[in-house]
Chains A and B, each alone.
Chain A
């Protein structure tokens, strides 16, 4: 009889559960969400993301998160029975998806007691939480884990609700070359990695994934500061998964931190990778790593199989600024004039004009400006006034306290079969752009 009464009470408490879930989101988004609006906005995001030929692939990648979102939507509609059935299926596929486990626990609990918000543990469990947390040294307390899971939930919802505007790209993506089949942008504030494909019809967003960053956030400066660097990077290789310990999951893609701008600024540290999660964790807390960008294994796997190292740029920003493709074209054309001027100086073999493009603190893998001047001088002799072509130009703009440009291109002396791939780091001084790093990559 008590149980029968409970059944009735459930129909009420489910709603309060749903409302509490939503209330949590409202705190963060400063937006008004009724359950309906919440469900609708989420639905829209899913529809938007599916409108391309990669829909099948994307479905696979986003399976776990999309399923979790659907469970949230069902809870929002008070359909806890259905939500429970779906969380069971999700956990069958991803038993180590801790956030899903938490939601599952709440759903099960909702049939026997009122549940007021995500991770509403019963008192007895809370006691167990404190008891267990005391024993393992150096591990986060269970209470902290609970907060992290709530944070993960908010971050996932936020990224799914606040979609990038259509036909927009991160402001850093001035120009991708034909060699850049993909590009990656990380929005640390959203715990999100966006994967772009550069195909015949231009650059477009094809997938985005929840990610974890450094325990202490972003703007890595010093070795061991447990922060994720901010800037324009490139994937430098792919580590053989068999050589990696379980902690890194299905693989690892190192990026070129510290890049020449980081070095110019005296930043230290190394070994910043995009990597997977240990087998006992589907995903990690939003701030969990020592500075690496951590993806769920199925998500990383997709990147591993589709993305090329050495040519794939990885922009890591605290907050991505999405701008229209048209405005990017204008910026690209403007900077292209500078690049053309540099090429002309080179073709004209005008050493003085040429050297005016380089900053006094210029470096080329440790060589200073004086040493570089003699290298340039030799190079110009070698060119002997022949024309040179710059192809496959990739321009990435990075603006913080400085306005900088990372340009990668193939330089070929006209008439020759092969050339070299070079990368330059430019910094703007007033109206003039100057090169503070140049080298063959």
Chain B
């Protein structure tokens, strides 16, 4: 994960599946409809729609993946486990189903199974950051269990449930369609470097596009508050510009502009001293040969001189590519909006 923030992320309560990320056009209509249903909180109907689409394309990994996600949302972990397990069997080259399988096992307290699944996800895609983070959480949890047993603290109830990230989108390379049609996943040689394809730069190409459509996507949310004063509307725009400028500074590795996006009282992760944090960021960012940070699906909540901005961050650097929900808390300092807090997740 690119974010320098807490590695634990809650399973977001707000289920915002971005249909735009499912860039393969064949599904676009189906997925759009499912997404609409999900946005309306109609999970059951969304599931029905997915099932219906699956009758036409029974092996489609994206639909099946989505089905697993909705089953998870509907509180049907066993069904979801079944769905994801079958996906791992038929598409062993995809890390996402393993990851979600791990999330489900972990929430059922089966950390060893979760660990095995995550290790498979990482074997499939060594630079898969979500799986790395989730595995870190699992290690910490298993360690805590082992310590409890060692000290006979009795009842592993004291161990916290790890908050793992459920992947909601299946990243597929542009060529995925052919893979699906061959029905011979073995042919994709899971161990071969080509496996990295799901996160390879080409894969992100379709993802970049939706960013352009962002203003359109967010447009409907703004009119919901009809009588907003003009000032607020202007602020929204300023805030959005500030976020885009931050992403741009990051992408262009402009450290001065990047660090200047953060307020003096920025809540550094793990309460690191500001200087340490800055050095860390500098190392991380300057250490990359290429970074692309795109922001999409922006929603802004204004509250006087502070604002909460939620969006989807598509990060793509060297061999690593992720898409995640991010929340920035901004404060207005003079006429500038600066970041006071940065968190990953819903």
Contacts and interface: CB of A to CB of B under 8 A. Distances in A.
**Listed residue (B2, B147, B151, B152) with the most chain A CB atoms within 10 angstroms of its CB:** B151
Interface centre among B1, B133, B153, B284, by most A CB within 10 Å? B153
Given A1-B1, A4-B127, A4-B132, A122 B140 contact: yes
Given A4-B127, A101-B146, A132-B158, A108 B151 contact: no
Contact of A142 (B1, B153, B284): B153
A206 to B, nearest CB: 31
A149 B145 CA distance: 16
A67 to B, nearest CB: 16
Interface in A1-17: 1-6
Contact of A121 (B4, B129, B147, B154): B147
B195 interface: no
Nearest to A101: B150
A99 B146 CA distance: 10
Contacts of A95: 149
B143 A105 contact: yes
A112 interface: yes
B38 to A, nearest CB: 30
Given A1-B2, A112-B136, A132-B158, A125 B149 contact: no
Contact of A108 (B7, B142, B148, B320): B142
B128 to A, nearest CB: 10
A212 to B, nearest CB: 15
Contacts of A104: 143, 146, 150
B1 A105 contact: no
Nearest to A142: B151
B132 A105 contact: no
A2 B135 CA distance: 12
A106 B150 CA distance: 11
B144 A129 contact: no
Nearest to B132: A3
Given A98-B152, A142-B151, A128 B158 contact: yes
A103 to B, nearest CB: 8
Contacts of B136: 3, 6, 111-112
A99 B149 CA distance: 9
B150 A105 contact: yes
Chain A, interface size category, equals 35 or more
B139 interface: yes
Contacts of A1: 1-2, 129, 284, 317, 320
A129 B151 contact: yes
A1 B140 CA distance: 18
Nearest to B122: A3
Contacts of A159: none
Interface string A96-139: 10110110111011011100000101101100110010001000
A128 B141 CA distance: 14
Interface in B139-175: 139-140, 142-154, 158
Contacts of A281: 152
Contact of B7 (A2, A96, A136, A146): A2
Chain A at the B interface: SS class:
helix
A119 B150 contact: yes
Contacts of B320: 1, 4
Contacts of A105: 142-147, 150
B196 to A, nearest CB: 14
Contacts of A149: 150-151
A267 to B, nearest CB: 34
B154 A108 contact: no
A109 B145 CA distance: 11
Nearest to A84: B139
A145 interface: yes
Interface in B26-47: none
A279 to B, nearest CB: 13
A337 B153 CA distance: 60
A119 B147 CA distance: 8
Nearest to B153: A132
Contacts of B1: 1-3
Interface string B269-299: 0000000000000001000000000000000
A35 B129 CA distance: 34
Nearest to A109: B143
B159 to A, nearest CB: 8
A403 B13 CA distance: 79
A394 B132 CA distance: 65
A5 B132 CA distance: 11
Nearest to B149: A101
B133 A3 contact: yes
Contact of A101 (B127, B147, B284): B147
A2 B277 CA distance: 13
Contacts of B4: 2
Nearest to A128: B158
A158 to B, nearest CB: 20
Given A4-B127, A111-B139, A125 B150 contact: no
Most buried by A among B140, B150, B152: B150
Interface string A203-241: 000000000000000000000000000000000000000
Interface string B1-14: 11010010000000
Contacts of B147: 101-102, 105, 119, 121, 125
Nearest to B111: A108
Contacts of B139: 108-109, 111-112
A151 to B, nearest CB: 13
Contacts of B127: 4
Interface string A1-45: 111111000000000000000000000000000000000000000
Contact of A145 (B144, B152, B158): B152
Given A2-B4, A105-B146, 17 more contacts: A1-B129, A2-B133, A3-B1, A95-B149, A102-B146, A105-B145, A105-B150, A108-B146, A109-B140, A113-B140, A128-B153, A129-B151, A129-B153, A132-B153, A136-B154, A142-B152, A145-B152
Interface of A: 1-6, 91, 95-96, 98-99, 101-102, 104-106, 108-109, 111-113, 119, 121-122, 124-125, 128-129, 132, 136, 142, 145-146, 149, 280-281
17 contacts: A1-B129, A1-B320, A101-B150, A102-B147, A104-B146, A105-B145, A105-B146, A111-B139, A112-B136, A112-B143, A113-B140, A122-B144, A125-B148, A128-B158, A136-B154, A149-B150, A281-B152
> Which 6 residue pairs are nearest across A and B when measured between Cβ atoms?
A3-B132, A105-B146, A108-B143, A102-B150, A101-B150, A105-B147
